[in-house]
Amino acid sequence: MKTTLAILLFATFPLFAEPAGRDPFPSDYTPSPCAPDSGAVCETFAKQNYLTFGAQFRGFALDRKWIDEHWDEMRTAFLPICGKIANCFTIPGNPSTFCIDLARDEFQVPCERFERGTRDHDQCSMFATTWVIGLGIKKQLHQEAQSCATKAATGETRRLEAWTSPSRITSDFDGRLRIFAIDAESRIPVRARIASDGPGRFRSTEGPVPTAAAILEWNPRLKRVPNEEGHTNVVRPSFTLQADGYEPLTIPAPIEIRAMVVEMDPSPAQLRPGKNVVTITTRDSVTGQLVEARVMAGAMIAGETNMPIELVIERGKGIPEIWVTSLFDRYSDVVVSPARK
């Protein structure tokens, strides 16, 4: 006879929602009066030098005829993107490189009107990349926008909005994470500083301080907190974002919390004084696969799950609490059988 204990997820995922493929710079942003002219921001390599610089910086085989035929239409398509960069310049503390890098991939979007794999698509993709390189850092425009925004600031503390990409991961995640932040009112990106309260590696590949939109190296690990049963639950660590002039914002890390489904054979009710041979099986509630955990009898280690173990219960001392704990902090503790006399 088996007794099954299905432990429900105590925090359903996700805690913060987002549409698939959320834009790091929402198109519904509110333009700033301090933003420089998008045409000035969009100035790139001169048309007559374009082919040469494309080859010099990226080894591109751009075609002069394609450049001449598509120059005006591509510049027109790029202007709204340059408008985003111009408005990003107006957030105090946003470096110009941050704003340009954030919009970099958007310059490829107009090329999607050409079928992938065709010459037109290849030429367009090389053209767009060369255009971004030619933007430079726009030092003067950036400085003027920053100065204007600083003078126009009211002194009121503003709010941030943030999300992660990917928006959902498991504890086995071994990739890179990005955290995006925008001004909650204007919806313009903010290069906020980020700190984690969780264990494990958390660092930026782009500088000593993790910041919004940067690629972050992070090995996700859950934290343990005490629960009402005298054991511990696993919970998500948090990320706290801070930027000058903004309220600090804390969001949960996007780790999926799963439960252990525990089975004991024979059932806890059949435990008797003396030697008891039991098997406690632990499985992941989502995959159904066996997971490693340690079996505890009160404060004593009784053995490991998923194999027969001996529980020796002394006469006259009652039956200790039987519980299991994850050695890798992936699951909350589970009480299989409460202590009884």
User: DSSP characters for 99-131?
Assistant: HHHHHGGGGGGGGGGSPTTSHHHHHHHHHHHHH
CA distances from 152 to 29, 83, 88, 90, 204 (A): 18, 20, 15, 10, 32
Together in a domain, 141 and 42: yes
Instruction: Select from 118, 152, 186 the last residue of a domain.
Output: 152
| Predicted confidence (pLDDT) per residue in 289-302, tens digit | 999 999 999 999 99
Together in a domain, 330 and 248: no
CATH number of the domain that 329 lies in?
2.60.40
Together in a domain, 87 and 130: yes
User: What's the CA gap between 127 and 74, in Å, rounded?
Assistant: 9
Q: Strand 3-6: give its sheet, edge to edge.
A: 3-6, 260-265, 274-284, 308-313
**Amino acid at site 295:** V
Say which residue, 341 or 127, is predicted with more confidence: 127
Tell me, yes or no, whether 11 lies in a domain. Answer: no
Say which residue, 33 or 341, is predicted with more confidence: 33
SS3 311: strand
| Predicted confidence (pLDDT) per residue in 162-214, tens digit | 999 999 998 888 778 999 999 999 999 999 999 999 887 889 988 889 999 99
| Predicted confidence (pLDDT) per residue in 294-330, tens digit | 999 999 999 999 999 999 888 888 889 999 999 989 9
User: What's the CA gap between 264 and 4, in Å, rounded?
Assistant: 7
Q: Which value, to the nearest 10 degrees, does the dihedral of the CA atoms of residues 149, 150, 151, 153 take?
A: 80
pLDDT exceeds 90 at position 237: yes
For range 216-226, the mean pLDDT: 91
| Predicted confidence (pLDDT) per residue in 136-160, tens digit | 999 999 999 999 999 998 889 999 9
Question: Is residue 151 a contact partner of residue 140, using CB atoms and an 8 Å limit?
Answer: no
Give the model's pLDDT for residue 21.
Answer: 62
pLDDT exceeds 60 at position 20: no
pLDDT exceeds 80 at position 61: yes
Give the model's pLDDT for residue 175.
Answer: 78
Together in a domain, 97 and 179: no
Together in a domain, 42 and 137: yes
Percent of the chain with pLDDT over 70: 94
Tell me, yes or no, whether 225 lies in a domain. Answer: yes
Together in a domain, 208 and 263: no
Q: What is the span of the domain harbouring residue 65?
A: 38-152
Together in a domain, 139 and 165: no
Q: Strand 193-196: give its sheet, edge to edge.
A: 193-196, 238-242, 249-252
Together in a domain, 189 and 144: no
Half-sphere exposure in the Cβ direction for 220 (13 Å, CA): 24
Range with the lowest mean pLDDT among 19-28, 101-110, 119-128, 216-225?
A: 19-28
| Predicted confidence (pLDDT) per residue in 102-138, tens digit | 999 999 999 999 999 999 999 999 999 999 999 999 9
Tell me, yes or no, whether 132 lies in a domain. Answer: yes
Together in a domain, 123 and 164: no
Mean pLDDT of all residues in the chain?
91
Instruction: Select from 198, 219, 252 the last residue of a domain.
Output: 252
Joined together, the tokens standing for residue 70 give 């598509």
Give the model's pLDDT for residue 8.
Answer: 30
Tell me, yes or no, whether 213 lies in a domain. Answer: yes
Give the model's pLDDT for residue 126.
Answer: 96
Give the model's pLDDT for residue 200.
Answer: 78
Question: Is residue 257 a contact partner of residue 9, using CB atoms and an 8 Å limit?
Answer: yes
Give the model's pLDDT for residue 155.
Answer: 86
Together in a domain, 45 and 148: yes
SS3 265: strand
Query: Given CA atoms 112, 27, 20, 163 in this order, what sign does their dihedral have?
Result: positive
Tell me, yes or no, whether 99 lies in a domain. Answer: yes
Beta-bridge mates of residue 279 = 265, 308
The terminus-to-terminus CA distance of the chain in angstroms comes to 22
For range 13-28, the mean pLDDT: 62
Instruction: Select from 131, 152, 173 the last residue of a domain.
Output: 152
Looking at the structure of the chain, the number of domains it has is: 3
Tell me, yes or no, whether 144 lies in a domain. Answer: yes
Together in a domain, 272 and 326: yes
Tell me, yes or no, whether 9 lies in a domain. Answer: no
Tell me, yes or no, whether 138 lies in a domain. Answer: yes
Together in a domain, 175 and 235: yes
